[in-house]
A and B are shown apart, each in its own frame.
Chain A
Amino acid sequence: MKYVVLIYSNPRTWETLPAAERERVLGLHDKILGEMRERGELLRVDGLTDPTTTRTIRTRDGMPVVTDGPFGEAKEQLAGLWAIDVDSLERAIELASPITEYDVVEIRGLMDLSGYEM
């Protein structure tokens, strides 16, 4: 089953972490990514640029309007994502759980084009 793991992060938390702690957590990410690569579970991994670089586009009075910054006020912003293909949701939760010391993670299934005649 294919899932995306959406990693939400508070940039302030990361700025204030001691360097050694930051390294430890990043090392943990690398370890999990390495394990997923080795097992053939990782489809892709991406980090996002800082939330302040976000452009938000809305249609107002029939015209698209572009504003700087994210549309939400939440402290936690989308920071990166994994796309994985694993045997079960339980496996996805197991993989993502260790990286939630400072970040929040959402797991969502990917829609696909398969289907049975109903």
Chain B
Amino acid sequence: MVREAALEGLLREHAPQVLGALIRRFGTFETAEDAVQEALLAATIQWPVEGVPDNPRGWLLTVASRRLTDQLRSEVARHRRETASAALLPAEALVVPAPAEPGDEAVDPDDTLVLLFMCCHPALSPASQLALTLRAVGGLTTEQIARAFLVPEATMYQRISRAKQGIRAAGARFELPPAGERAERLQVVLQVLYLIFNEGYTATSGDALHRPDLTTEAIRLARDLHGRLPDEPEVGGLLALMLLTDARRPARTLPDGSLVPLDQQDRGRWNQAMIAEGTALVDAALERGPAGPYQVQAAIAAVHDEAPRAEDTDWPQVLALYELLEALAPNPMVTVNRAVALAEVRGPEAGLALLETLDGDPRLADNHRVPAVRAHLLERAGRKPAAIEVYRLAARMTSSVPERRYLMARADRLASTTH
């Protein structure tokens, strides 16, 4: 009897490699991807009953090849009926391949990397990049991805199918991007992995048994990418950022799903192994040379994670890192975070003054983070009535139920102590 989790892990590990081999043999990403998906589904049905084959990858490759050959045959037959012309496809594409022997399949270890670049093609929308990466590289089923994003399966199916059309329309080839585009394309890949991570990390509830864990999947993919590109400091930086953030997960929510602010978390529940791994990664990445935004964000997370108590946090260090981050990647949200650090170092009024410089920035017009931070700083500055008003404003602006509950509670607590 195969344990379900072990089976999943095995399938996920082989999925991109089988897909890569199939694309190399048949040359079509769209149909190959469908065939691999069918082979994965067949495996989830057969392996628990019949046992895992001696050569799981060979089994998957054989089954996927048969599906693909069947499909190509029926397409040729249809085309022949319609045009009375044959010889459209190379003859070898119509021959059912012999069952693969162990070591027989030509697996290029870099296929996973090529696939990752392909799924994160800049011509696709972020939603498409995420969905396709999880399916083609992560080996998740459409149903699992739909559940993770809380959308109907038909919606996710269309999103994936559209993403594949987008790849064809963009004329993407199954090869690594040319050297001149590599750095830019890698940025998109990192962005997609980080979005997958955040989608999982910010989910405070949902059926944990049936909602695939996107956080773990994002870390798995980032770890795999780091193994393939060990000399890219930003890949190490992103993996470190994920580990150092996810390390806090056991302490960031209460059993009822409510959020616990960083300074009130039970730090004894943080995952020390993840913190150690993340810290080592960020140190190694920073030693390699000029720091990129992921490394700096990881370094900030490391400073927080290394403080045994909230009051031990090295805020001058956090502030310096936010200043560096703002110089590297200017963004109003970074300024908001810098205001938090500035308030810790120089007092709440200094933080409030910095926040004021963001007033009227259209990029923040609908963002509840600014009033939420402002309310905190007003509270710390002892300006209670203003704090209550701004907490309530932030609560009205957020679309997150746990955040609204938290912000309302802060306002209520202040209101009950002002009289």
The one of A85, A110, A111 in contact with B155, judged by C-beta atoms closer than 8 angstroms, is A85
Closest-CB distance, B128 to chain A (whole angstroms) = 8
Chain A residues whose CB sits within 8 angstroms of the CB of B398 once the complex forms: 115
Q: Quick check: which of A37-45, A55-63, A69-77 contacts chain B, the rest being far away?
A: A37-45
The proximity string for A residues 78-118 relative to B, scoring 1 for CB distances below 8 Å and 0 otherwise, is 00000001010100000000000000000001111111111
A43: contacting residue among B152, B202, B252, B402, CB under 8 A: B152
Q: How far is the CA of A23 from the CA of B150 in the complex (A)?
A: 34
Known: A87-B127, A118-B406. Is A113-B257 also a contact (CB below 8 A)?
yes
Would you give the shortest CB distance from A25 to chain B, in whole angstroms?
25
| Neighbour of A117 across the interface among B125, B159, B259, B401, CB < 8 A | B259
Stretch at the interface among B2-10, B260-268, B293-301: B260-268
Which residues of chain B are near A39, meaning CB under 8 Å? 158-159, 162
Q: Is B230 an interface residue (CB 8 A)?
A: no
Number of interface residues of B (CB under 8 A): 43
Question: Contact at B400–A111, with CB atoms within 8 Å?
Answer: yes
Complex CA gap A84/B273 in Å reads 40
Residues of A near B131 (CB, < 8 A) are 40
Q: Are A117 and B257 in contact (CB under 8 A)?
A: no
Number of contact residues on A: which range applies?
20 to 34
Q: Does B357 belong to the interface (CB within 8 Å)?
A: no
Cβ–Cβ contact A118 & B261, under 8 A: yes
Residues 383-406 of B contacting A (Cβ, < 8 Å)? 398-404, 406
A113 touches B248 (CB 8 A): no
Contact B402 A40 (CB under 8 A): no
Interface residue from A38, A87, A110, A117 paired with B162 (Cβ < 8 Å): A38
Binding site for B on A (CB under 8 A): 2, 37-44, 85, 87, 89, 109-118
B-to-A contact residues, CB < 8 Å: 125-128, 131, 149-152, 154-162, 202-206, 248, 252, 257, 259-262, 265, 366, 372, 376, 398-404, 406-407
